[in-house]
Amino acid sequence: MDSVRGGAAVAVVLGHSILAFWPGIGRNQYFNMFSSSPLSLIWNGSSAVCIFFVLSGVVLSAGYFSSSRNDYYIEISAIRRYPRLVVPILITTIISYFIMKFQLINSIDVANITNSKWLVRYYNFDQKFIDSIKFGFYDVFFSYKPTTSYVPPAWTMKIELYGSFIVFSVLAIFGRSRTRVIAYCALIVLMWDTFYVGFVFGVIISDCFLNGKVWRGFKMYYGFGVLFLGLILLSHTGRSDWLTSLVGRVDNKHLSDFINMIGASLVIIALMGCNELRRPLEISALKWLGKVSFPLYLVHFVVLSTLGAWVYLFLVKNGPSDMASLISIAVTLIVSLIAAGVVYPITERPALFISREIGKFLMRQKIS
């Protein structure tokens, strides 16, 4: 499933790049035609976030359902979760601080030209090193404000952290209960209007695949059917798409997000359950993309606001703005992928090492 996470990260990069360099494309009839179909998932960052949350629920609970030492798994995973997230965020925050301090950010100039009301909100504040450290350790999880964020895409980290502990709590209380399906249903009812319901869906998927035989080894046509339905629901915007043409407009944002979460869950179920669908995702390039997905998610906004913005400002003086937008988006994506590969050893590897060592140390202290 790492390949799916990598694809979702690319969608976030493309979505942010379009909002920054080409916000006016929404008025293009051909673009709108694609935007009302599952093809929009290529650049739909909101749908990608749903994939992230459901996958986190799957991955965090899979170790529990496949382990004979259930209580130990929950304890060690809970101890490791915060350092696992905080190390890459802190390193990216420090990089962002120095880039801002050396005045290498050009995104505000781009926003003034493209009239991107979204882009103008970011990287437009006074920076202090102590504030960047505080942001990386604390604010990003417990007091996030987009207008003073050193890593704008990190708004999801609070949900990621809290959602992780919802998973651990559900597993600790209901994980081996024969009536846990009742708990799952109750949690869905309670959390349907929040992003946290994605984590619950992930636990259910993991439970069904690891403890239930019925979901293993879909026939290909079942897999394609579930995948197609999932893509329809995942690309739903509530305004103008294939689903609204059948059931009507959905003005409730929470309901639209819930439909997207169901779609993300169905997509993951189809890919996990159907070998024919999963096999193309196992090529090395896509596995690499999955490996660097978290660094890509964190670092791309720095690339967008520096090199991507510089390219746009240079090209917009020498040619049509549409071409400048297209080239800037391509440059942002390519350089972000390269940057993710470069920062991977200094973000992901230390995060994994530190989280493991902290977990081992605290567990030894508990035993002694």
pLDDT at position 28 is 66
Residue with the two structure tokens 């202090």: 128
Q: In tens digits, what is the pLDDT along the chain, a chain of 368 residues? A: 789 999 999 999 999 999 999 987 766 666 666 676 788 888 999 999 999 999 999 999 998 988 766 778 888 888 889 999 999 999 999 999 999 999 999 999 999 998 999 999 999 899 999 999 999 999 999 999 999 999 999 999 999 999 999 999 999 999 888 889 999 999 999 999 999 999 999 999 999 888 875 566 677 778 889 999 999 899 887 655 555 555 555 556 788 889 999 999 999 999 998 888 888 888 999 999 999 999 999 999 999 999 999 999 999 987 667 899 999 999 999 999 999 999 999 888 888 788 778 767 766 666 55
Give the SS3 label for residue 261. Answer: helix
Residue-level pLDDT at 319: 67
Q: Residue 78 and residue 163: Cα distance in Å, rounded? A: 11
365, containing H or E segment: helix 321-367
- Which pLDDT score, from 0 to 100, does residue 245 have? 54
How many distinct structural domains can be found in the chain?
Answer: 1
Q: What are the residue ranges of helices labelled H in 70-135?
A: 70-101, 107-114, 129-134
Whole-number pLDDT of residue 158: 96
Helix, strand, coil percentages (3-state) for the chain, rounded to 5, are: 80, 0, 20
Q: CA nearest 208: which of 181, 183, 232, 229? A: 181
Q: Which domain holds residue 86?
A: 2-367
Residue given tokens 């609070």 in the structure block: 158
Cα-based angle 312, 314, 315 (whole degrees, multiple of 5): 65
Q: Which pLDDT does position 58 carry in this prediction?
A: 95
Give the C-alpha distances (Å, rounded to integers) separating 33 from 39, 69, 84, 218: 10, 51, 41, 32
Task: Give the three-state DSSP class for 122.
Answer: coil
Q: What is the pLDDT of residue 137?
A: 95
